[in-house]
Amino acid sequence: MAAHFEKRLTETDTVGGLSLPIDWLRVLPPFELGSHEVKIYVSDGLEFWQFRCSTMRMGRSRKPFLQPEDWLKFVDHKGLQVGDKIILDSEPNEFIGGHFRIRVEPCR
């Protein structure tokens, strides 16, 4: 199942983790029993990035987010700033379960 997510980065996104929509739980790799974290590998067209995706409680549901330690390495490497847009796509892949791509559109 494919998914698409676009977001203009806020200050919180450039100094902390990146929240994903709740419906991304259906395209992320399965969380092991009792675990609230899974690793995903994302291509930006030049490099592969490893992000740890965790969930936080939002009332009765869980909301996924990319851990700051991994996400901020990407932010720093790309020189991302408030207002830049990130585009995250997933594509099904029968061999690895899913493939994730990220693109950046600077606001400058």
The pTM is what? 0.86
Q: What is the CATH number of the domain that holds 24?
A: 2.40.330.10
Q: What is the DSSP letter of 89?
A: E
**What six digits make up the tokens of 65?**
């987010």
Which domain range does residue 28 map to? 3-105
pLDDT digits (tens, 9 = 90+) for 9-44: 999 999 999 999 998 888 888 887 777 889 999 999
Count the domains in the chain. Answer: 1
CB neighbour burial string for 47-73, b if at least 16 within 10 angstroms, e if fewer: eebebbbbbeeeeeeebbbbbeebbbe
pLDDT digits (tens, 9 = 90+) for 97-108: 568 999 999 987
